[in-house]
Chain A
Amino acid sequence: MADASIIPAGITGMFDLLSPVAPGWGANLLRGLVRSLQIAFGAFGMGLIIGTFGSYAKLYGGPIARDLAAVYTTLVRAIPELVMIILLYYAGTDLINRILEGLGYQRVDISGLVAGIVVLGFVQGAYATEVLRGAIKAIPQGEIEAARAYGMSPVLMMRRVTLPAMLPHALPGLANLWLISTKDTALLAVVGFSELTLETRQAAGTTKAYMTFYLAAGALYLFITLFSSVILEWVEKRARRGMPSVKEAR
């Protein structure tokens, strides 16, 4: 077959290896991709929630809330993410089990997915705190004052004025965080979570087709980024709908 075909044997072999049906490894890679996306979504969402509370604590909180937020963002941003992940993943699950045992409960198996989301979300939250804090400071403060002057409660003001008004300022930073979040999932390979990178390593190690599988994984990561850019561009356009184009001011 190889000598009759115009396509070199290497290429057809490559597609065989990437086929989604056995003996191809495509299904494993796609499963890894889905897991990576689940973690990235979860971590980014959790980061946004932590970031909202963190930025409010830093901007409007009392002395204790401000200090807690400052310690959190400083520590998380100072420690390398890989160290943070190993630390939280092993130490964190161990701590939870020790507490459970101490209270007389059974040890639990914490699923890799949940642990991964919590660990990465905790890291994302620190960066999101700073992104959102900057964005809230960029709102013309008169708009916040107007909301106050018309009797809005703090929660209503956050929902109707502060968050929608800061969104256009936050989106470029949040877009960065989302893309970092998709790639940080690869760090979970070190703790044995089968996301895209670990699946790729296993496929490549078994078949010795390193080039093929790592190129395929690279293409999948690139696909995530390109698809995200389209969505993010649309979201930013919508969030900025009340603002004149920056080009007009040039």
Chain B
Amino acid sequence: MTANVAVAADPLQPGAAEQAEAIHIENLHKRFGALEVLKGVSMSAKDGDVVAMIGGSGSGKSTFLRCINFLENPTSGVIRINGEDVKMVSDGHGGQVPANRRQIERIRSRLGMVFQNFNLWQHMTLIQNVIEVPVHVLGMRRDEAMAIGEQLLERVGLSAKRDVYPAYMSGGQQQRGAIARALAIQPRVMLFDEPTSALDPELVGEVLKVIADLAKEGRTMLLVTHEMKFAREVASHVMYLHNGIVEEEGPPEQLFGSPKSERLKQFIRTVS
């Protein structure tokens, strides 16, 4: 179950050397009414791991990602983030809800989520989007957050768009901005929910390049994606989900090179 680190860990990254477990999930179930979307999914990611989740639509991969920061409340299962077990209580309708809102807020503020539809705040300029969470949630000084924010914008190639509102930016620019917003909280783990699915084909490359650079520097990432070639290049561990269970998983060479399950073979044929 534990992912292997295929990406060369940067020795200068302190987290990568220790190999602490950043995310640990056991037997996660999620039910929407009569529909059981996740039927017992487990995973573990150590610092520096890049875990890619692939699978057809309706396989539960996005739901799984959204359960990790409790945008969806899992029906049952163990979720441990940064070594901290999330306490859940019954909601009285057969499901469960987090017992402590502040614990969830604390955990969320250390997970950098990147959405399919960017979800930048439209009433703020790009730099305001980037410093919003550091200043107002994490309590960082404004000038300090500004300095970090400007560095991040430079890194994703958007310094010129600093004071521009998201509505005036292309999809690729908005998504790179959203990645800068996620990086600004200095996240333990980055969560990507199909980050290129809403983009025009010619804009996909610029976003993938930014994500690949993050993988290279040893950042811990969970990536739900349809880009098989990309998953193969950057991931240290790949999980193939089908109908709410992990059908097959392993290092990318093994999973894409010699898939065992018939369904995965067929999936790889249809998407490539």
Contact = CB atoms under 8 A, between A and B. Distances in A.
Contact of A242 (B111, B118, B119, B165): B165
A3 interface: no
A5 B117 CA distance: 75
B165 A156 contact: no
Given A160-B136, A242-B123, A142 B167 contact: no
Contact of B122 (A147, A148, A243): A243
B185 interface: yes
Contacts of A156: 136-137
Interface in A107-153: 140, 142-143, 145-153
Interface in A11-40: none
Interface stretch (B20-28, B101-109, B153-161, B262-270): B101-109
Given A156-B136, A160-B132, A241-B165, A165 B109 contact: no
B117 A142 contact: yes
A62 interface: no
Contacts of A167: 123
Given A146-B121, A243-B122, A243-B167, A151 B106 contact: yes
B1 interface: no
B175 interface: no
A205 B137 CA distance: 62
B215 interface: no
Contacts, number: 76
Nearest to B102: A153
Contacts of B105: 151-153
B69 interface: yes
Nearest to A156: B136
Contacts of A192: none
Given A142-B115, A241-B165, A152 B122 contact: no
Contact of B115 (A145, A161, A242): A145
Contacts of A142: 115, 117-119
A244 B168 contact: yes
A172 interface: no
B132 A143 contact: no
A139 to B, nearest CB: 9
B234 to A, nearest CB: 22
A218 interface: no
A239 B124 CA distance: 11
Given A146-B115, A146-B119, A149-B69, A244 B136 contact: no
A151 B105 CA distance: 4
B210 interface: no
A146 B119 CA distance: 6
Contacts of A149: 69, 71, 108, 111, 113, 115
B133 interface: yes
Given A145-B71, A243-B167, A150 B122 contact: no
Given A145-B71, A160-B132, A244-B167, A150 B137 contact: yes
B65 to A, nearest CB: 11
B16 to A, nearest CB: 25
B113 A150 contact: yes
The residue among A148, A150, A239 with the most chain B CB atoms within 10 A of its own CB is: A150
Contacts of B113: 146, 149-150
Contacts of B133: 150-152
B166 interface: yes
Contacts of B137: 150-152, 156
Interface string A144-184: 01111111110010001100110110000000000000000
B167 A145 contact: no
A248 to B, nearest CB: 10
The residue among B101, B113, B123, B185 with the most chain A CB atoms within 10 A of its own CB is: B123
A147 to B, nearest CB: 8
B122 A143 contact: yes
Contacts of B168: 244
Nearest to A150: B133
A162 to B, nearest CB: 10
B187 to A, nearest CB: 10
17 contacts: A140-B119, A142-B117, A143-B119, A143-B120, A146-B119, A150-B137, A151-B109, A152-B105, A160-B132, A161-B121, A164-B123, A165-B122, A167-B123, A239-B123, A242-B125, A242-B166, A244-B168
Given A146-B115, A156-B136, 6 more contacts: A149-B111, A150-B113, A150-B185, A151-B106, A241-B165, A242-B165
> Which 3 A-B pairs have CB atoms at the shortest separation, nearest pair first?
A151-B109, A151-B108, A142-B119
